[in-house]
Amino acid sequence: MAVRHQEHATLGVQIRWLIRRDMSEVLKIERESFEFPWSEEDFLSCLRQRNCIGMVAEHDQQIVGFMIYELHKSKLNILNFAVGSDTRRRQVGTQMVQKLVDKLSQQRRREIVLEVRETNLAAQLFFRSHAFRAVSVIHNHYDDTTEDAYVMQYLLDDVVGSVPGRNRISEYTDREAA
């Protein structure tokens, strides 16, 4: 039992900019994570765009996850996000999502969006557990299949405003208003 607990313990990672020498490890994670993986050229052409950012999660000088996202005026758009199969369920993805959420408050962007394949239930559940909500469906979205995509969205205001502060003063004010 102790070994199983060790497998699921949080893995502390450093999240940093993706650099060229990370690409072989990123491609390995990409291939083991997706049925239709991005090629190296897909990554490079995306990262050449001015508003496209790549970041990696690193543990003991090994890449254990990555994310590629676009910066827009009012939002971040996740284009690709994966964690290595041997480090899943160890909070690596959670730490990467938190890094993006922190950028919202710092950069005045209020939302994060991404498209998730309809068959990728693990990703849907992961992002849902981090306050993302499916807001629309894009039919026949992918070039490689006729599969639909769910557009998932994280709104900073929804999370901040979803748990209003309650105290005796607010309860008193509520009773007075009634």
Confidence of residue 59 (pLDDT cuts 50, 70, 90): very high
User: What's the rounded Cα separation, in Å, for the pair 89 and 94?
Assistant: 9
pLDDT at position 67 is 98
pLDDT at position 10 is 86
User: What's the rounded Cα separation, in Å, for the pair 6 and 4?
Assistant: 5
Q: What is the mean pLDDT of residues 79-107?
A: 91
Condensed to tens digits (0 to 9), the pLDDT of residues 122-143 reads 999 999 999 999 999 999 898 8
User: What's the rounded Cα separation, in Å, for the pair 62 and 39?
Assistant: 21
Please say whether the beta carbons of 146 and 160 come within 8 A: no
Q: Which residues pair with 17 in a beta bridge?
A: 55
Q: What is the mean pLDDT of residues 6-10?
A: 67
Question: Has residue 175 got a pLDDT over 60?
Answer: no
* CATH code of 164's domain: 3.40.630.30
Condensed to tens digits (0 to 9), the pLDDT of residues 21-37 reads 999 999 999 999 999 99
**Mean pLDDT of all residues belonging to the chain:** 86
Which H/E stretch holds residue 153?
Answer: strand 149-155
Structural domains in the chain (count): 1
User: What's the rounded Cα separation, in Å, for the pair 143 and 69?
Assistant: 20
pLDDT at position 19 is 95
Amino acid in position 115: E
Q: Could you tell me the residue range of the domain that residue 38 belongs to?
A: 2-177
